[in-house]
Structure formats: C-alpha cells, structure tokens
Structure 1
Amino acid sequence: MAKRGKKYQTALEKIDRHHFYEPEEALTLVKDNATAKFDETVELSVRLGIDPRHADQQVRGAVVLPHGTGKSRKVLVFAKGDKAQEATDAGADYVGAEELVEKVQKGWLDFEVAVATPDMMSLVGRLGKLLGPRGLMPNPKTGTVTFDIERAVKEIKAGKIEYRADKTGIVHAPIGKASFPLEKLKENYATLIDILIKARPAAVKGQYLRSIVVSSTMGPGVKITPLKPLG
C-alpha cells in the first residue's frame, strides 16, 4: 500500500474510523479535511445488499442533483438534421453522425457523456466494445437514448449524473465539490440516497443499504449511519 502524505494522516486523526456519523457531521468532516490546492470532488460510495451477477438485481440509472456536481461535463450527441441542431442549441460540445462514429472508432474519446437519438443506435452500436467498458455507451435506462435531445443535454449540463453498482455491489458517485456550502452537499446527498432507495430491486432481501462512505478526492473516507438518510 502506498504511503499516505502528512495531510492525509492529519485528516485521518480527526476521524473515528469505527464510528458511524450522521450525514451532516460526516459532510462537515469531509469539507474540513479537503485541504488540497484544488477544489476536491466529494464522492459517495454506497455498498448495496445486492448480487450484481443476477440480472434482476442490477441497480443503474441517472439523477439530476439539485446543485450539480460543480463540474460541467463534455457532452457528445449522435444525431442528424433537426435533432443535431437541437443538440447544438442546447449546448452539446460535439454533434455529428457517421463522421463522429468514425472519429470515435479511431480512438478519440474527448467527452464524458454520450447521447444518441434512437434512430442512430444501429450506427452507434458499432462502438459498443469501445464505449461500453468505459461507461460511455448511450442507454435508454439513463436517458441518453432519446429524441428529447434538448432536455437530455441541458440536464447533463445542469448536474445529471449516472449511477451504476459495480461488480462488488458498490455505487460510486460525485455529489459536489468541497467548496460547496454544507446545505448544498446535504441536498445532493439526500437526493442520491433517495433515488438509490427507490431503485431497490424487488428481488433483494435483507438490508439494502449496507454501508455509506463519503470522502473527498485526497481525503479519507467517513462512514455514515446507513439507515439515516437526511430528512
């Protein structure tokens, strides 16, 4: 294991690693411990009581955080004609059809979210092996395969994030920046936890929210009481 720096060790001393904190207290600790020279991202890691190997226990979707993530993401839209113009007007960073697919096939990946109109998916499907493993493939479940291009682009730009449980059943998602006021982090936190609870698969038995940890980019994790989302 890599040796941690002095700032990390100092931050760790302020946290009782065996204690479960209330959400507000945990977020305050994370903010206080974010001492890097850049504005650190605050990330939530939620371990769910699911078995991701089963198709009926997948947890995946998207949510618009009320205060965004503090980062404007580069959006690529696969569309033609009027829908291409709609994407441009909505603020998409890159818009195109065949020529854009070819560009991506050659290895260009300078974007963070891809959106496509349904009629483009036969073309975009060629990129599955490239975009799929990177979590960039447009998907109806996350609202990135749609004819409502304007709404999709604007929501992403406003702070819409995708969430997906990994193969260990953990969802990792950003909920803002360390510079955010505490109230904004609390509201983003509550929104994400609420949407994860609503996304509980019917096949899941027993405790669903197993553990919740919040941390900043360079700081240690802080455990949150699993069954106490903010009211």
Structure 2
Amino acid sequence: MIKKSKRFQKIKSQILEQSYELREGIELLKTIANARFSETAEVHMNLAIDPKYNDQQLRASVLLPRGTGKFVKIAVITNSSQLELAKSAGADLVGSDEILDTITNNNFLDFSYLITTPDFVPKIAKLGKILGPRGLMPSPKTGTVTNDLADTIKNFKNGKIEYRADKTGIVHIGFGKVNFSTEDLLFNLLAIKDSINKNKPSGVKGKYWKSCYICSTMSPSINIDVSTFI
C-alpha cells in the first residue's frame, strides 16, 4: 500500500465525505491546490458504458470556451496545395510524405495533435500501431480528418480537445488550470458535460452517468453530485 505524504493527507482532511455541487466543488479544488506549479484541473467521469461493444464506445472532441491553459503543438499532414494555408493558420509542423517518413522511421511524436486531409488517410492508417497507443491517430469523429484545415487548426489552438472513454468506461479530461477563475473552470466543465451527453453511445440503456470526480494534478479527488451535473 502506497503511503500518502503529510501534505496530501492534510489536503484530504479538508474534503468532506460527501458529494459537492459543481460550483462548490470547483471552489474547493482551487482552495486545496497548493503545489509550486500551475496544476491542471482534471475531471474523471464514470459512465455506464462497456467500450468493448461498438455501440457503447465514446470518442469525440469539445472546444473548451476558456481554453486549456497549455501550449498546443499542431502537426498537419496534407497535400502540397494546402501547406501554406496550414502554416498561415498557425500549425507548428506542416508537411506531406516527409512527416510520415519521420514518424515511421524515428517514432517522431513531438506534437499534441495530428490533423490531416481525407486524401492522406490511407497512408496515415498504416501508422496505427505508432499513433494509436498515444491517442494521436486522426479521426473524423474528433475533427482531425478534415478539409477545413484553417478553422480546425485555430480551434485546437484555442482549446479544442479530444477525449475518449477508457476500457472501464471512464473519461479523463483536463479542463483548465487551477489558477483559472471559478467561472472559467465552470464554463469549461459544462461544455464537457454537454459534449458527453450529445455524444451518448446508441447502445447505452438506462442511467448514463455513474459518478464524477474532480481533482488537480497533485490533489485528492472531490466527489461531484452527478444530479447537479447531468
């Protein structure tokens, strides 16, 4: 059993054994986060889904209205006619087959998101074993396979994120930094909630939300009253 630090135990003592209303939980999170760096605010949502079934898988994207607070590095693979457009839209790494070769030969994965146009999907599909485990495989479901490169790049730069349920049906998402205002964190979290409800898998029957917890990078978790969240 891992022994928790005195700091962790002191913080945990401030969290009551109860579920908190959403705003109240965020305010408590901001109070207890005291690391010497800007911690990420995280939400962990347990859904009544079993991703081993195709009609219960959840993978989508959402634009956080107040951003992520993180630097986002965008790589774009497209044809020569759209390279300049991608650069002018703010992509950090732009190319065609040469980027594919670098990923294949060097396992180059120094980017946050990989965006591509539909014509490159067959080539990128061959890199599934490299990109898939890191969550970097472009997909129409998350908007990273698109003909609208300019808007897609800008959206991801401005706070659009991808998410997916893990094999146990839990979705883990960073929804900003703890030094964001309560209102900004609340706006981001509500956007996530709306997106998860909008993308509810067709195979889900009955109750969808099981539990929801928020925490910071270094803090214990805070139980959120799901009835105030769904």
Give TM class, smaller chain.
over 0.9
User: Do 1:79 and 1:117's aligned partners in 2 also have CA atoms closer than 8 Å?
Assistant: yes
Q: Distance in 1 between matches of 2:153 and 2:123?
A: 20
Equivalent residue, structure 2, for 1:71: 70
2:85 is aligned with 1:86: yes
Q: Specify the code of the residue in structure 2 equivalent to 1:25.
A: E
Equivalent residue, structure 2, for 1:38: 37
Q: Distance in 1 between matches of 2:97 and 2:72?
A: 23
C-alpha deviations, 1:144-165, integer Å up to 9, x for none? 0011001111000000011100
Aligned residue for 2:206, secondary structure, equals coil
% identical equivalent positions: 44
- Kindly tell me the number of residue pairs found equivalent between the two proteins: 229
Would you identify which runs of 4 or more consecutive aligned residues in structure 1 move more than 4 Å?
none
C-alpha deviations, 1:202-226, integer Å up to 9, x for none? 3211211100000000001001011
C-alpha deviations, 1:13-41, integer Å up to 9, x for none? 0002x311000111111111111111000
Q: Specify the code of the residue in structure 1 equivalent to 2:49.
A: I
C-alpha deviations, 1:84-106, integer Å up to 9, x for none? 11110111110111111111112
Q: Distance in 1 between matches of 2:101 and 2:6?
A: 47
Using the TM superposition, give the Cα deviation of residue 3 of structure 1 relative to its aligned residue in structure 2, in angstroms: 2.4
Please report the RMSD computed on the Cα atoms of aligned residues, expressed in angstroms: 1.1
User: Do 2:80 and 2:96's aligned partners in 1 also have CA atoms closer than 8 Å?
Assistant: no
For normalisation by structure 2, the TM-score amounts to 0.96
Using the TM superposition, give the Cα deviation of residue 48 of structure 1 relative to its aligned residue in structure 2, in angstroms: 0.3
Q: Distance in 2 between matches of 1:134 and 1:118?
A: 21
Alignment of 1:1-231 (within 5 A): 1-16=1-16, 18-105=17-104, 106-229=106-229
User: Do 1:61 and 1:142's aligned partners in 2 also have CA atoms closer than 8 Å?
Assistant: yes
User: Do 1:83 and 1:147's aligned partners in 2 also have CA atoms closer than 8 Å?
Assistant: no
Q: Distance in 1 between matches of 2:95 and 2:52?
A: 36
For normalisation by structure 1, the TM-score amounts to 0.96
Aligned residue for 2:228, secondary structure, equals coil
Q: Distance in 1 between matches of 2:203 and 2:123?
A: 35
Q: Distance in 2 between matches of 1:124 and 1:49?
A: 32
Using the TM superposition, give the Cα deviation of residue 4 of structure 1 relative to its aligned residue in structure 2, in angstroms: 2.2
Using the TM superposition, give the Cα deviation of residue 5 of structure 1 relative to its aligned residue in structure 2, in angstroms: 2.1
Gaps of 5+ in 1: none
Using the TM superposition, give the Cα deviation of residue 73 of structure 1 relative to its aligned residue in structure 2, in angstroms: 1.0
User: Do 1:7 and 1:35's aligned partners in 2 also have CA atoms closer than 8 Å?
Assistant: no
